[in-house]
């Protein structure tokens, strides 16, 4: 531990999500986030096929990975990456309990700022509520590094809102202004589209969506 007695931010974040993994997973089931993400993903042209490698960076308990799987895309492999071991264990259990096979799904513990993958590995990257824990430019740069040219990034950032502000306090992260997200994305990506979730869906209170393409 550092001399000032404070744990590094990554350790604090990992410990926090290790403690709340089961509660977090239950909450996401109740509020319908997974169905909202599935419908959104299904509406997109992700340009992937049977050989495509997909990364869910900052996958948590697997909500977005499961939504992607439920959207019935064809892909070669799906990797979920997260700091929290307990969250990854929940994600594995969720896939194992599903009626759909998950032989081409695996999970890795790592930091989204130092992902253990070679350059230009993935055809699609999914990121939901993770860049709020890291410097925006560094997070987008690392995502771009592991993506093939022309690969797509589905980014679901926390948007400035009353609910977002409450989450910011509860989860100890920092919301990036939407214009900062746009400006940061344009350095390495082409913005293919943006999306506002319907107001009737709880996810709309805190999240927005971007579809990006690596330049």
The H-or-E segment that residue 209 falls in is: strand 209-214
Q: Would you identify the CATH topology of the domain 9-214?
A: Rossmann fold (3.40.50)
Q: How far apart are the first and last CA of the chain?
A: 40
Whether the pLDDT of residue 198 is over 60: the answer is yes
What is the 3-state secondary structure of 97-164?
Answer: HCCCCCCCEEEEECCCCCCCCCCCCEEEEEEECCHHHCCHHHHHHHHHHCEEEEEEEEEECECCCHHH
Instruction: Tell me the whole-structure pTM to 2 decimals.
Output: 0.90
Higher pLDDT, 8 or 143: 143
Q: What is the pLDDT of residues 183-194, one digit of tens each?
A: 999 999 999 999
CA 41 to chain centre: 13
CA 164 to chain centre: 16
Q: Rounded mean pLDDT of 129-156?
A: 97
Minimum mean pLDDT range among 23-27, 45-49, 69-73, 143-147: 23-27
Dist CA 60 CA 22 (whole Å):
11
DSSP secondary structure letter of residue 204: G
Dist CA 197 CA 179 (whole Å):
18
Q: What is the pLDDT of residues 3-55, one digit of tens each?
A: 444 446 777 776 666 565 655 656 666 678 999 999 999 999 999 999 999 99
Q: What is the pLDDT of residues 123-138, one digit of tens each?
A: 999 999 999 999 999 9
Res. 172 pLDDT band, cuts 50 70 90 = confident
Dist CA 179 CA 26 (whole Å):
32
Dist CA 42 CA 54 (whole Å):
15
State residue 31's pLDDT score: 75
Hey, how many other C-beta atoms are within 10 angstroms of the C-beta on 5? Answer: 6
Q: What is the pLDDT of residues 76-118, one digit of tens each?
A: 999 999 999 989 999 999 898 887 756 799 999 999 999 999 9
Domain boundary assignment for the chain = 9-214
């Amino acid at each position: 531990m550092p001399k000032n007695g404070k744990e590094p931010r990554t350790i604090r974040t990992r410990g926090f999500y290790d403690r709340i993994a089961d509660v977090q997973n239950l909450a996401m089931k109740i509020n319908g986030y997974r169905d909202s993400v599935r419908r959104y993903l299904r509406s997109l042209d992700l340009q992937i096929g049977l050989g495509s490698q997909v990364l869910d960076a900052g996958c948590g308990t697997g909500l977005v990975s499961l939504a992607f799987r439920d959207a019935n895309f064809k892909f070669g492999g799906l990797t979920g990456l997260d700091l929290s071991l307990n969250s990854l264990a929940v994600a594995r259990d969720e896939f194992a309990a599903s009626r759909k096979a998950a032989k081409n799904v695996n999970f890795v513990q790592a930091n989204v700022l130092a992902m253990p993958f070679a350059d230009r590995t993935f055809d699609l990257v999914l990121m939901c509520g993770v860049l709020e824990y890291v410097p925006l430019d560094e997070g987008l740069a690392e995502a771009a590094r592991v993506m093939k040219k022309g690969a797509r990034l589905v980014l679901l950032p926390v948007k400035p809102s009353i609910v977002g502000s409450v989450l910011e306090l509860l989860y100890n992260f920092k919301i990036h202004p939407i214009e900062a997200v746009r400006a940061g994305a344009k350095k390495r990506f082409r913005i293919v589209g943006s999306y506002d979730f319907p107001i009737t869906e709880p996810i709309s209170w805190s999240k927005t969506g971007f579809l990006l393409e690596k330049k």
